[in-house]
Amino acid sequence: MSGVNVLDIARRRGFFWPSFEIYGSCAGFYTYGPLGALLKLRIEKLIRDHYVNKERCLLVEAPILTPEEPWVASGHVESFTDMNVECTKCGEPHRADHILEEKTKKSTEGMSLEKIVKELQKVGVKCVKCGGALGEPYDYNLMFKTYIGPGKSKITGCLRPETAQTTYMPFKRLFELGRKKLPMGVIQLGKSYRNEISPRQGLVRLREFSQAEAQFFFDPDDKEKNPKFDQVKRKKVMVVTKGDQVKNKEGGMMLIGDVVKKKHASEWIAYLLAVSMDLFQKMGIDGKRLRLRQHKDDERSFYSSDTWDVEYMSDTFGKIELVGIADRTNYDLTRHQETSKQSMEVNIEGKKFVPHVIEVAYGIDRPVYSAIESSVRKDGDRVYFSFPPTVSPYQVAVFPLVKKDGLPKMARDVYDSLNDAGFYALYDEGFIGKLYYRQDEAGTPFCVTVDYDTKKDQAVTLRDRDNQKQVRVKIKDLADVLGKVINGQIKFEKAGKLLK
Smallest distance from the beta carbon of 29 to Zn ion, in angstroms? 23
Per-position x/- string for 29-68, each x denoting binding to Zn ion as judged by CB under 5 A, each - no binding: ----------------------------------------
Count the neighbouring beta carbons within 10 Å of the beta carbon of residue 156. 13
DSSP 172: H
Q: Which amino acid is at 146?
A: T
Q: Helix axis angle, 113-123 relative to 96-104, nearest 10°?
A: 40
List, in sequence order, the alpha helices (H) in 183-300.
242-246, 256-261, 267-282
Per-position x/- string for 62-91, each x denoting binding to Zn ion as judged by CB under 5 A, each - no binding: -------------------------x-xx-
Q: How far apart are CA 103 and CA 111, in angstroms?
A: 16
Binding-site size, Zn ion (CB under 5 A) = 8
Smallest distance from the beta carbon of 133 to Zn ion, in angstroms? 9
CA torsion sign for 268, 45, 62, 195 is positive
18 or 132, CB closer to Zn ion? 132
DSSP 106: S
**Is 187 near Zn ion (CB under 5 A)?**
no
Is 158 strand, coil or helix?
strand
Q: How far apart are CA 273 and CA 306, in angstroms?
A: 13
Smallest distance from the beta carbon of 6 to Zn ion, in angstroms? 30
Specify which residues 461 forms β-bridges with: 449, 472
Q: Which amino acid is at 294?
A: Q
55, 92, 219, 428: residue in contact with Zn ion (rule CB under 5 A): 92
Q: How far apart are CA 402 and CA 79, in angstroms?
A: 63
Q: Which of residues 103-162 bind Zn ion (CB under 5 A)?
A: 127, 129-130, 132
Smallest distance from the beta carbon of 418 to Zn ion, in angstroms? 56
Smallest distance from the beta carbon of 37 to Zn ion, in angstroms? 37
63 or 131, CB closer to Zn ion? 131
83 or 396, CB closer to Zn ion? 83
98 or 235, CB closer to Zn ion? 98
136 or 480, CB closer to Zn ion? 136
Phi, psi values for residue 325, rounded to 5°: -120, 120
Smallest distance from the beta carbon of 87 to Zn ion, in angstroms? 3
Smallest distance from the beta carbon of 120 to Zn ion, in angstroms? 15
Residues at the contact surface with Zn ion, assessed by CB under 5 A: 87, 89-90, 92, 127, 129-130, 132
